[in-house]
Amino acid sequence: MPTRPLLLEARRLWEELAHAQGSFPATGVTVTVSPESALCPPGWIGVVALGGSALVTVPSRAAATAVRAALAGLPVESLVDEASLRDVLPVAGVLGPAALAYASAGGFRPAPGPWTVERLPGDHPALRALEEAAGREDAGEAALDDITSPACVIREQGRVVAAAGHRAWPRRTAHLSVLTAPEARGRGLARTAASAAVADALAAGLLPQGRARPPASRRVAAALGFEELGTQLSLEPA
């Protein structure tokens, strides 16, 4: 799938999540009222920038008027920069920014590695043990407990030290989760487990999506051929 169709599919996905069909602009910025938007927690402002344009959801008409005025004249890249937004909007909290990346069947670069990959149910106790070993922050970032697919795992000495899977999102999107035990990082295990999970998603006709903040996670996605097409963040109005 070439970059342009991949970008269009990503925009359609985020329109659906925003409950605002047809609202993602080809260029520039659209601010739309959508109290049910899944771009952000209820009552917050959601921002998604993809391919040089941005969709912003707000909870009310009053908020839309204020946000449109505040964002007028800002370049799209500033809409996903926390410091720039705090300069023009009263912000109490921020989630993100997180990079959004997508893989096509033609662009995917498998990374099998020397390890055996096995598949476990998403609710397997070995995955919960891996999350406990990784710590609350890393486990929360990976959200391995949200996957709806089997988990592709790598064991060492009988213990799962790396796992990847995906959660079913709208528009046949496979939202990727990857987690590695702290002592096993830096050796390519995450890349191998993620490669197997992405291959499973593509074989099922799904669109693999990676959403990540940590540089290490973004490097794994890039190594597998994911294209970073944009950024997402959420703002809590002060």
The answer to whether residue 112 sits within a structural domain is no
The answer to whether residue 105 sits within a structural domain is no
Instruction: Give me the percent of the chain exceeding a pLDDT of 90.
Output: 92
pLDDT at 117 over 70: yes
- Tell me: do 171 and 208 sit in the same domain: yes
- Tell me: do 33 and 94 sit in the same domain: yes
The answer to whether residue 104 sits within a structural domain is no
Instruction: Give me the percent of the chain exceeding a pLDDT of 70.
Output: 99
- Tell me: do 65 and 151 sit in the same domain: no
- Tell me: do 157 and 205 sit in the same domain: yes
Model confidence at 113, pLDDT cuts 50, 70, 90, reads confident
- Tell me: do 128 and 95 sit in the same domain: no
Average pLDDT value over all residues in the chain = 94
The pLDDT, as a whole number, for residue 1 is 42
- Tell me: do 124 and 224 sit in the same domain: yes
Annotate 106-160 with DSSP letters as a single string: TT------SS--EEE-TT-HHHHHHHHHH-HHHHHHHTGGG--SPEEEEEETTEE
Give the whole-angstrom CA distance, residue 108 versus residue 202. 9
- Tell me: do 85 and 149 sit in the same domain: no
Mean pLDDT of 22-45: 94
Give the residue among 228, 169, 100, 142 at the shortest CA–CA distance from 151: 142
Strands 118-120 and 53-58: unpaired
Give residue 37's domain range: 3-99+232-237
- Tell me: do 150 and 94 sit in the same domain: no
Residue 144, domain CATH: 3.40.630.30
The pLDDT, as a whole number, for residue 67 is 96
The answer to whether residue 20 sits within a structural domain is yes
The pLDDT, as a whole number, for residue 2 is 44
- The amino acid that residue 232 corresponds to is Q
pTM: 0.92
pLDDT at 3 over 70: no
Mean pLDDT of 195-223: 94
The answer to whether residue 111 sits within a structural domain is no
- Tell me: do 128 and 208 sit in the same domain: yes
- Tell me: do 123 and 95 sit in the same domain: no
Per the structure, the count of domains in the chain is 2
